Amino acid sequence: MGGHVTMITAFITGVVVAIPTSLITMKLLNSSLFISNTELREANAKISLIINNLDDFREERMKDKMERLGITDKLDERLSTKIK
């Protein structure tokens, strides 16, 4: 099951990176070569919100997994997402 969570997390991370990159690219190709500070600030706020939501989701999943496995230490090897 750990592999599935890693794949989902990797996919979501890719989406988080791809969306602003494509928006900035479209902005550059569609109009001028400059993006206003207001637009950058708005995009940054949206990206920050998404990242914070992903962090919250990850923490909830970690808490659920710890409760399910009876783990009290976040450094426990059973929580590792490394492929063995």
**Residue labelled with tokens 């109009």:** 31
Tokens of 4: 């599935």
CB neighbours of residue 23 within 10 Å: 15
Those residues with Cβ within 8 angstroms of residue 72's Cβ, 6 or more apart along the chain or in another chain: 66
Contact 47, 18 (CB under 8 A): no
Q: pLDDT tens string for the chain (84 positions)?
A: 556 667 777 778 877 788 888 887 777 776 655 667 788 888 889 999 999 899 899 889 888 888 888 888 877 777 777 665
